[in-house]
Amino acid sequence: MPQLRKDSIVDRWVIVASERGRRQAAFADPVNQQTDPASCPFCKPDIVGAYGHTPLLLTNGQVRVFQSGTPFFMATEPYTCQKHGLYEACSSWGSHEVVLETPDHVANMADLPLDDIGKIFSTYAQRMLVHRKDPLIRYVLAYKNYGVAAGSRPIGHARSQIMAIPVNPVRVKDKIYGAKRYYDFHERCLFCDLIHQERKDGQRVVLENGEFLALTPFASRFPFEICIIPKRHCCDFAQGIAGYEGQLAQMIRELLMRFKCGLNDPAYNYVIQSAPFEGGGGYKEYPTIEEDYHWHIELMPRLMRVAGFERGTGFYINPIPPEMTAEFLREVRL
C-alpha cells in the first residue's frame, strides 16, 4: 500500500509507493552527452570571443565565470517596478553567469579531478560574496543542469550557472518559514535535529564524511532525490563552505559516480539552498535566520517526467521509497 508522507520542512505531502520499481518503464534514457569538441563553443582557444564576446568575470584555477551570452538578469538599467492594476512587473536587475568548470571537453562533473570540483564550489562562494554587496540583490541561485532532460542544451562541456536576483524565490521562503516555525517551538535547528535522527536511523543515509551527510529525504518528491547537509550549523553557503570545499567535492563526486554507474548516466540537477540576505549585507529581512536556517544542497537525477497535476497541485507521486533508493546507491559498485 502506498504511504502519504509529510515533508518535515515545507507544508508538502508526497505519495510514496511501496513496491520496488513501480513505473520503472517511465524512467528516462541515459544522457549520452558525447558531442564533438570541434563544434563546442566552450572548447575554442579564445573562449571569450567564441562565447559571444561576453565578459570574463572570474578565474579560479581551471574554473572561469562568464556573463551569460543570453542573460535573463542584467544590472544595466535603473531598477523599476510597475503596477498594472492587479499585476506588478519589475525589471530583471541582477546577473546571470555561466560557470565553465573545465577547459577540457568533459561533460559530467563526476569525471573532473577532485581539486577542480572543489574550485567550482569556492567559485560559487566568491560570486555570492560579490553579489551581496549590491543593495538590490536578494538572492543568489547557484545550480547545475546536466543533460537535456534536466533542462540543459546538448553541449558536452561541464558548466553550471549563477543567477543574482532582486527577489526571494517562493520555495526558498517556504523552507525558511518552515525552519523558523520549528525553531520557534523547539529552540533547536530543524536540520541539526534531522541529521541526528537520520544518522541514528541510518535507512536513508547514502554517504557520510567528516563534514557532510547525504541522505534521501523521508518525503522525497522524486526517485533518488538527495539532500546533502553540512553537519556544522551555518545558514550561509559562502561562509559554511570555506575550508571544506574538498570534503564537499569528494562527496558530490562519489554521489555523481554512483548515479553514473548505477543509474546509467542520468540527467541531473543540483541547487544550492542558502539563506537569503538583505542586499548590502546582513539578514535584516529575516533577523533570526542565522539560528533558524541551515544551508544544504538538493541533488536530483531526472529519471521521470513530472505529471501535470503535480505542477498544478504541488502534490507529488514518488514511485520508489527513499529507503530503497538509499540502499541501492550505497550498494552501487564503483
Q: Which is nearer to its own copies, 45 or 70 (CB)?
A: 70
CB of 193 to its own copies, least distance (A): 6
Largest CA distance in the chain: 59
- Do the beta carbons of residue 212 and residue 251 sit within 8 Å? yes
Between 72 and 280, CB nearer to its own copies? 72
DSSP 215-274: E--TT-SSTT-EEEEESS--S-HHHHTTT-HHHHHHHHHHHHHHHHHHTTS--EEEEEE-
310 binds its own copies (CB under 8 A): yes
Enumerate residues 197-236 that contact its own copies by CB under 8 A. Answer: 197, 201, 218-219, 221
Instruction: With H, G, I as helix, E, B as strand and everything else as coil, classify residue 209.
Output: coil
Q: Within positions 277 to 296, which residues make up the interface with its own copies, using CB under 8 A?
A: none
Which 28-67 residues touch its own copies, going by CB under 8 A? none
Q: Given the complex with its own copies, which of 48 and 89 has the nearer CB atom? A: 89
**Contact call for residue 173 and its own copies (CB under 8 A):** yes
Q: Quick check: 314 binds its own copies (CB under 8 A)?
A: yes
Residues 178, 240: Cα–Cα separation, whole Å: 21
**Judged by CB under 8 A, which of 41, 49, 151, 281 binds its own copies?**
151
- State which residue, 67 or 269, has the beta carbon closest to its own copies: 269
Kindly indicate which of the ranges 115-123, 139-147, 237-245, 251-259 contains the residues binding its own copies, using the contact rule CB under 8 A.
139-147
**Nearest-CA neighbor of 326 among 232, 198, 212?**
198
Q: Which of 45, 312 has the CB closer to its own copies? A: 312
Among 33, 122, 273, 274, binds its own copies (CB under 8 A): 273
Residue from 67, 95, 108, 145 touching its own copies (CB under 8 A): that is 145
The answer to the question of residue 315 lying near its own copies (CB under 8 A) is yes
Identify the residue among 107, 194, 241, 289 touching its own copies (CB under 8 A): 194
Separation CA 219–CA 10 (nearest Å): 10
Q: What DSSP assignment string belongs to 283-309?
A: -TTSTTHHHH---EEEEEE--SPPPHH
Sign of the torsion formed by the C-alpha atoms of 141, 307, 267 and 43? negative
From the centroid of its chain, how far is CA 313?
22
185 binds its own copies (CB under 8 A): no
Closest separation in Å from C-beta 138 to its own copies:
10
* DSSP-derived 3-state class of residue 325: helix
Nearest residue (CB) to its own copies, 130 versus 271: 271
- Considering the rule CB under 8 A, would residue 333 count as an interface residue with its own copies? no
Interface segment toward its own copies; rule CB under 8 A; list 36-44, 48-56, 125-133, 165-173: 165-173
Number of shown-chain residues binding its own copies (CB under 8 A): 79
Nearer to its own copies by C-beta: 89 or 114?
89
Closest to its own copies by CB, 3 vs 288, is: 3
C-alpha cell at 82: 510597475
- Of 212, 294, 215, 224, the residue nearest 250 (C-alpha): 212
Q: Please list every residue from 89 through 108 that binds its own copies, using CB under 8 A.
A: 89-92
Per the CB < 8 A criterion, the answer to whether 67 and 54 are in contact is yes
Separation of alpha carbons 266 and 283, rounded Å: 37
